[in-house]
């Protein structure tokens, strides 16, 4: 009996080892498919981080006359989705630092600027985390058409959440900075609801209809 149990134990261990090797092999294949010769070069990563940052800033200035219609947020999210966590946060920080400090309507006060830097850095991070999560889902294949309902729905929800959180917390920081009283937050926010709704709808639509195409296009250019 003991010899039989020993043989069974050895066989079980061999099966487990084989399963682990197969899983590692599959993970390596996935990493190989998602890797890019270009993105492995530090010089290229620096260049593309600069490009994404410049693009976000330029789009920010171009659309500044159209209140709360912007592609600034989408570009930062896209950078994180394509480049990864660190680079996404760098793009979010650099682009928001330049655009918000040299804003056409005036530089942001220090507390509001600090919030904006944090928010847009986290937006780049969220882009990267979204890529990590979607790559584990069967309905997401980055080499194929991304205009399918699950992907568009998730992008739309994220666009709405990011924009809503920005509107709420930036208004709160602004009120506390200017009026030094949280009691003025609700009246201030209610007055700005039309602009808030425009901002949320604009970014949600952009995340649904523009983002999937850009992800597919840029990914295939780099791989």
* Domain layout of the chain by residue ranges: 52-222
Q: Residue 73 phi/psi, 5° resolution? A: -65, -45
Locate 150 and state its tokens.
Answer: 């699950």
Q: How far apart, in whole angstroms, are the C-alpha atoms of residue 49 and residue 80?
A: 10
Q: Which of 17, 16, 11, 14 is nearest to 3 (CA)?
A: 11
Please tell me the predicted confidence (pLDDT) of residue 37.
75
**Which residue from 82, 66, 69, 172 is spatially nearest to 119, judged by alpha carbons?**
172
Whether CATH 3.40.50 fits 52-222? no
Residue 163 CA: distances (Å) to CA of 26, 80, 156, 160, 170: 37, 17, 11, 5, 10
Task: Give the chain's mean pLDDT.
Answer: 88
Task: Give the pLDDT confidence of 130-158 residue by residue, as tens digits.
Answer: 999 999 999 999 888 899 999 999 999 99
> Cβ(161)–Cβ(115) under 8 Å?
no
Higher pLDDT, 47 or 104: 47
């Amino acid at each position: 009996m003991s010899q039989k149990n020993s043989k069974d134990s050895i066989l079980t261990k061999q099966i487990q080892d084989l399963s682990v090797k197969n899983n590692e092999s599959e993970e390596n294949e996935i990493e190989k498919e998602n890797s890019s010769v270009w993105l492995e070069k530090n010089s290229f990563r620096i260049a593309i981080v600069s490009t994404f940052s410049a693009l976000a800033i330029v789009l920010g200035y171009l659309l500044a006359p159209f209140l709360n219609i912007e592609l600034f947020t989408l570009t930062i999210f896209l950078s994180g989705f394509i480049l990864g966590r660190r680079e996404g946060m760098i793009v979010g920080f650099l682009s928001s630092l330049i655009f918000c400090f040299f804003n056409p309507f005036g530089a942001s006060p220090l507390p509001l600027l600090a919030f904006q830097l944090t928010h847009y850095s986290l937006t780049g991070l969220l882009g990267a985390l979204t890529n990590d999560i979607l790559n584990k889902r069967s309905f997401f294949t980055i080499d194929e058409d991304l205009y399918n309902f699950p992907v568009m729905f998730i992008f739309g929800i994220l666009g709405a959440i990011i924009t809503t959180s920005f509107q709420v917390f930036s208004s709160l920081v602004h009120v506390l900075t200017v009026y030094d009283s949280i009691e003025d937050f609700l009246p201030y926010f209610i007055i700005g609801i039309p602009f808030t709704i425009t901002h949320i709808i604009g970014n949600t639509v952009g995340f649904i209809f523009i983002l999937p195409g850009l992800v597919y296009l840029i990914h295939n250019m780099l791989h």
